[in-house]
Structure formats: structure tokens, C-alpha cells
Chain A
Amino acid sequence: MCTERPAVLIGKPWARYVPSPDAPWNLQRVVHLHRRAGFAATWSELQRDLKDGPNASIDRLLTGRTRCDGVPQDFVSTADTLAIRAGSVERLKAWWVYRMMFGPDPLTERLVSLWHNHFATSAAKVGMAVHRQNEIFRRFARAPFGELLRHVIHDPALLVWLDAPANRKEHPNENLGRELMELFTLGFGHYTEKDVKEASRALTGWTVDEDKFKEDAGLHDPAEKTILGQTGHWKGDDLVRLLLEHPATSERLAFRICELFMGDGATDVGGLKSLAAGLREHHLDIGWAVETVLRSEAFFANANLGNRIIGPVEYVVGAVRALELFDPAPSTLILAEYISNLGHDLFYPPNVFGWPGGRSWINSRSAIGRCNFALALAAGTELGRPMAFDPRVVAQRHGRDGDLAAIVNFYAELLLGVVPPGMWRDRLLKALGPKLVADVPTSRQAVALVLASPEAQLS
């Protein structure tokens, strides 16, 4: 089932990664791959990928075969039931967290999150319509962008969110036209105010009827319009075509892909332009771009390790997975609440720009919130889970049991990919108290400290 795509040479920026002494295929890189392209991994998954090398590991991620732990037999039916029975946006959040935690395809879920941010639509205005939108994101997460865009923009959630039904021939409403250009395709600076007005005219007639997209000719302004220098009797779908053809769209998509997989300072203008050019050659195929980046030397370079802040969802879900808290698992409702308290209220983006991410995930409140989550997780029973957590059991399972230092080493390698150099471990051990006995309470505190450490906020 491995997708065979013809190798396309697009120049040095995205040359393929080959392990070398400078960039060896080691545990740090395996953890890095799973942190960026999924929600962390269990020790078994990490060791398997370490043994099998980068190509096979990435193959598994791309084909939804990467998880060997914690995917229930009845995942699909359970997920479907949870979705059908959701009934409220709070339960829908729990459904999505369930998918991220237990589904076989974490890479797709990361992309769903990217699209949720890109097309930021709030349930505060459109209610449960965000569910169908979320499924569209999932279905077309890695498709050519035109397919995703057309489906999203014909879906009631976005149409209602951006007041499409109110945009009429006699009285245009600029909301949809503006955000379509500024946020979903070209980006700011590649169009004029006149373009926005003309685009809005092209979109007149797009409305929602009986919870479905409807193109109402009676509301449409059929006269000539000039958009981005091109004149014609443009309708909504023509506008979409013009926007997809414009090179700025490929650049914005390249930016989004790099925002997800590449960290601070790891991509330069040349890299972005190269990726954008490649997207244009491949009909804006997101799957192609994702694979290109993940298999690249740049992705695995030293400069791209530990330079990206782990967002709230990845932090929470990743921690639960790495600690193998599958059965019984914490309550997905409670996890969704923690994620929200850390600043990522799923389905409720703060505004049309979504969540800025990066450094903005870290402030006093979210820092304390992450620490409190680490403490709660290590305790085990705080998150709606009936059983307490014994960190030594997981360490034992993988032959890494021992004294407190051994426990800290294991969890640091599991969660961070490597034990941070210098005094990190000694300082942590000192903070655990005078008696360094690896009993259950102290082991829990040790795991909490590793998880709450500044190093654990970066991937």
C-alpha cells in the first residue's frame, strides 16, 4: 500500500535524508519524527523504527501503519458511534481526541488540525456544523489542495461562518471574499481592495439551503468582474480557479506545511520557494509536499531538532501515548478540557486567524497548566482513570527498570529522545528529595518532572 510517487528532483533544499555521522539515525531522530508527524510514540514503536531505518518508518506514517500499540480492534466503529452520539461540541472535542489517541493514522490527524487552523471556523457561530467540516478535512487532508478547498468552501460551516448567504447582488458582503483571499489562498499583499470587492461579487449567489450548498442564480451578480487582472463573468468556482492558479497560493501552502513540520529558523526563503514550486508542479498536492518534507535532509538536520514548541494537543495526547495509558485510558472529555486550558480550544478558534502557535503557546498560565497536567498524569487517577499509574511497570516492560536515575534516564529518552546534557538529570534528582528511592510516589514525581521540564515542551 506504499504510495509510489516518481522521484522529482526539485533542487537541494529538500534533498533526501540519508543517515550520516553528522546526522545519524538515532533515537533522538526517531522521537523527533513521531513528535512532528504524529503524537509521540511508545517505546516499542520507537525501537522498531530505530531498527528499520528512516524510509520504512516514514512509509508507515504515510500509510497509517505506524502504531503497534493502543489501537483498539473496534476503533472505527467506536469512533463512528462517538461521533454520531456526540450531540454537543464538548463531546465532539472528546471524539476528536479519541481519534488522535487511538486511531491508526496520527499523521492525518495532525493535518486535520492544520486545516482546522487554516480554515478557522468557530462552533460559537456554526454549532455542530464543525463536525462535517472536520470530516472533510480528514478526507482531503493530503489531497490536491483544490479538492480540499472546493469541498470546504461548498460546505455550510464555512459558508455560514463567513456570511456567504448574506452576500447578494444588490448588497455584497465582503467577509467570505476577503478571507478566501487573505487566509485560505493568496495571503495578504497579493491582492487589492478592489479585488476583494470584485471577488465578493463573484461569490454572490452562494448560499445554504436545507443544510446544503446552493448556488442561487437569482442572487448572483452576473456582470463582468476583473479579479487579479483577469476579466470575465466570473462566478464563485471561477474565482476559486483563479486563486488556485495564482503562485502566491502555493507559497502560502508551503508556509503552512513548513509551519507544521519545520521548527524555528529551519527553513529559509529558498526552501519555501522550492517547496512552493514543487507544489505548483504537482497540482498543489499536499500529500506530495508532506512526503517531500518528511523524507528530507532538512527535516532531520541538527538545526531542525528541538526547535519547535509542542502544542497543547500534541503535548497532552503525546504524553498519554508515550506512557502507554491505553487501558484504562484517561477520559477524553477531561483531556479535551486540559487541552483547552492550555490554550487550544478545539472547534473554537479565537478568530479567523486560528491559533498563532509557536511561542504563543507558552505563557504563565499555560506553563503552570502543563506542569499541572504532568502532575495529574503521573498520579494517574486525576484524569478520570480508575487506576493509578506506576511508572516502574512501563520501564520494567522494556527492560529499563532500576534506581531513580535509571527511571529518569528511561523517561527522558522516551519523551525527549535523549537525556539533556550537563546538570539536567542531577538537578532533577536533587529536587526529588534526599532519599533517592525508586518507590512509586517518587517515581511518579520523577516522571512528572521530566514531562514538566522546559526541554519537554520542545520537539
Chain B
Amino acid sequence: MDTQTAEKTTELWPLAVYAGLVAATVLAIVTISYLLGERHRERATGLPYESGIVPTGTARRPLPVNFYLVAALFVIFDVEAVFLLVWAGAFRQAGWAGYVEIVVFAGVMGAGLFYLWRVGALKVIGGRGEHESGDTDEQ
């Protein structure tokens, strides 16, 4: 018991050293670039570089919220793919029980996709689907 605890406490110092190294590295990078970096202020210094073309307009435009829905959708089904691939790797070992489980899992995901399609979440442009027609947000 005692040796075990002693072992655990001694194991902590590499972590402290590591944290110190990380801080030192970050500090060094910032300091060196501050010392060596150029400091000049021309007309186009602050402009974003877009392959030599003068930028037009602002990058901060309102995006349709549906974009975020699609992003969320992507995450959901991306994670589904992760599980499917893991199961595929253990296809034979998992057997019929594993098959039933993955079918249930994919079925629930499919039901979710069906729902999202019907409420119009898949329409990136043009707002809401026919199902969502007419109310709530405008009030």
C-alpha cells in the first residue's frame, strides 16, 4: 500500500515539468516573434490577404440558421458512421446479437433523419419546408 502511494506521488512531477515546458514554449514563441517580428503600418497591412485581390464587403453576414442544422446533422451522422465502422470491424465476433443491436441503432438514426427531412431541416437555402409552414418565428 505504502509503496503504491509513494509511486503515485512521485509520478506527478513529470506532469508539472511538462506543464512548465508548455508554458515556457508558448512564452518563448510569443517573445521571440515580438522581438524579431516587423512592425510597420501601411495602408493594406491590416487587410486580409486574398490572393492579391482587394477584398470586398464584410465577412460578417447573417447566415441562415439552417446552416447550423446541417452542421448538427453532419455531426450526428458522422458519429453514427464511427459506430458502424467499429461494429463492422467486429462483425463476426458480435454475431446476430450485435447485428440486431446495430440495426436498432441505425433504425433510430434513420427515424431521426426521416423526421429532420419532413420538418424541412435539410433545406439549406430557402428557409423552411412545407411542413413548417406559417407561424411562430414571425410573431
Asked if A and B are interacting partners, one says no
Which residues of B are interface residues toward A (Cβ below 8 A)? Answer: none
